[in-house]
Amino acid sequence: MTAIKVGIIGAGSAAFSLRLVSDLCKTKGLSGSLVSLMDIDKDRLNAVHMLAKKFAEEFGADLRFETTTNVEDPIKDSSFVVNTALVGGHSYFEQVRNISEKHGYYRGIDSQEFNMVSDYYTISNFNQLKFMHDVAKAIERISPKAWLLQAANPVFELTNLITRTVPINMVGICHGHHGVDQIIEKLGLDTEKVEWQVAGVNHGIWLTKFMYEGKDAYPLIDELLEKEVKNFKPTNPFDDQISLVAKDMYEFYGKMPIGDTVRNGSWKYHYNLETKKKWFGEPWGGVDSELGWKWYQDRQAEIALAMQKVAKYFQENKNAKLLSKESFNEIISQTKNDVKEEFTKEIYNLLDPERKSGEQHILLANALLNNEKVDLVLNLPNNGTIPGIPDDVAVEIPVYADKDGIHRYKIDPALPERITKMYLYPRIMRMEWALEAFLTGDRKVLEEFLIRDPRTESYDQVVKVIDEILALPGNEEMRKHYSKK
């Protein structure tokens, strides 16, 4: 048993923190650990703290918690630091998007070929990149042996930035590969008998291997797509793993796109709302359309409110138990029905002792410290795993972890060359441009990004949109950074 300190930065991201706490409660080998919850928003922080304590109590888990608004506290003496903060919050993204759209950039300047996810900003996200880089440097200074588990986006750019410039232990972690579970579930297969691999870069991963009972099971996916896609009607904006767009990408690239990769196709699927609806289905046109993203934002706000209500209830009723679903539903009775259902399901899944949350952070910690070998999908430098990709580019690949560290599996069969040449290279190029801009502070690089954007019609348009984003309140440091000569 190894009692450690785990720091969570941006811990007010409630659903995420509770998942980690629930996994910790179920991991005997990390019993006695201290969880340091850090956020700049005290209300969110207190709500998460209240619920985290409640979870530990219900499990009878030996965990301690501390809360702090000082970013160095979750780093000091920690073995693992999970960073899930979002500097400027979602409202900053909306401001940038509104300015961009006024200047002719539908869904914002940061929506780029193979990077259409609406909160994955790389061009205008200086404050986020700077904060994450600073946290990595603080780890090097204060806790040089600690692992940084980078959960906040943009995971691809941040994993590259940090692994290349700060000599610490770090990996980028995303849960996007669970798209494979959706395929397995839709096919009604026994998970234990499925063997699969995904490979690519974060939010750009492809199902390279899919075997059932030792035989190639891709023909089952072909049949499923044929059947399901004819009258495709998504149940929610995220319902796209088996969709017209996934089928079209599969047919062009030769392998199934997995998880957020389906959201990250070329402009073919994203020109405008009408195009998005055609490919991602009515009524939303996928989660990254104006309608789908509003659906998501409204839902997140409802969930945050429900979380506050639950926390307040337990604050006022110290001896109350989370265990009864009826009393739980009573506490969040004002929450919209479908959100209430999903929220209750999530909480009760997290309370199920037989089930882990699906996040990989605690599994990785337990494998490294207690030698409980585990298969994971992580972001780390390629080092020859995907042929044709430079060693220092962070790829998202299947690995296993144990007391000796993280070990890469061979990708077999290999990724089709078309994916490498037509999807990964252009995506990697944009990551490199984003880092070139960030590391040099050269505004001309930001401009060049947009000069090469198919939505740009004049240089004047580029200058105006960048000027207006740099002039936003909160972007003072970014403005200064990009005025370097």
Q: How far is the CB of 359 from ligand NAD (least distance, A)?
A: 8
Min CB(155)–ligand NAD separation in Å: 5
Annotated catalytic residues are: 175, 260
Let me know if 8 is exposed, middle or buried by CB neighbors in 10 A (0-12, 13-18, 19+): buried
For ligand NAD, the closer CB: 237 or 247: 237
- Answer whether 370's CB lies under 8 Å from 363's CB: no
Cα–Cα distance, 420 to 134 (Å, whole number): 32
> Does 363 engage in binding with ligand NAD (CB under 6 A)?
no
Among 152, 170, 184, 331, binds ligand NAD (CB under 6 A): 152
243 counts as binding ligand NAD under rule CB under 6 A: no
25 belongs to an annotated ligand binding site: no
Encoded one letter per residue, x for contact with ligand NAD by CB under 6 A and - for no contact, window 101-120 reads ------------------x-
Residues 10-35: b if buried by 16+ CB within 10 A, e if exposed: bbbbbbbbbbbbbbbbbbebbeebeb
- Under the binding rule (CB under 6 A), the answer on residue 261 touching ligand NAD is no
Per CB under 6 A, the list member of 20, 86, 116, 377 interacting with ligand NAD is: 86
Q: Say how many C-beta atoms besides its own lie within 10 A of residue 256's C-beta.
A: 26
325: Cα separation from own chain's centroid: 29
Per CB under 6 A, 53 contacts ligand NAD: no
Asked if 23 touches ligand NAD (CB under 6 A), the answer is no
User: Cβ distance 44 to 17 under 8 Å?
Assistant: no
115 and 264 Cβ atoms separated by less than 8 Å: yes
**Residue with the two structure tokens 């974060």:** 202
Q: Is 305 in the site for ligand NAD (CB under 6 A)?
A: no
* Residue 179 touches ligand NAD, criterion: CB under 6 A: no
Nearest to 234 by CA among 288, 178, 270, 301: 288
Residue 174 among known ligand-binding residues: yes
Residue of 3, 34, 41, 76 that binds ligand NAD (CB under 6 A): 41
The correct pick among 23, 39, 288, 302 for binding ligand NAD (CB under 6 A) is: 39
Longest dimension (CA), the chain: 64
- Does position 137 interact with ligand NAD (CB under 6 A)? The reply is no
* Of 111, 122, 153, 208, the one binding ligand NAD by CB under 6 A: 153
Position of minimal CB gap to ligand NAD = 12
Pairing of strands 204-212, 194-201: antiparallel
Distance CA 297, CA 410 (A): 39
Binding residues: 153, 174, 203
Residues binding ligand NAD (CB under 6 A): 9-10, 12-13, 16, 38-41, 44, 71, 84-87, 89-90, 119, 131, 151-153, 155, 173-175
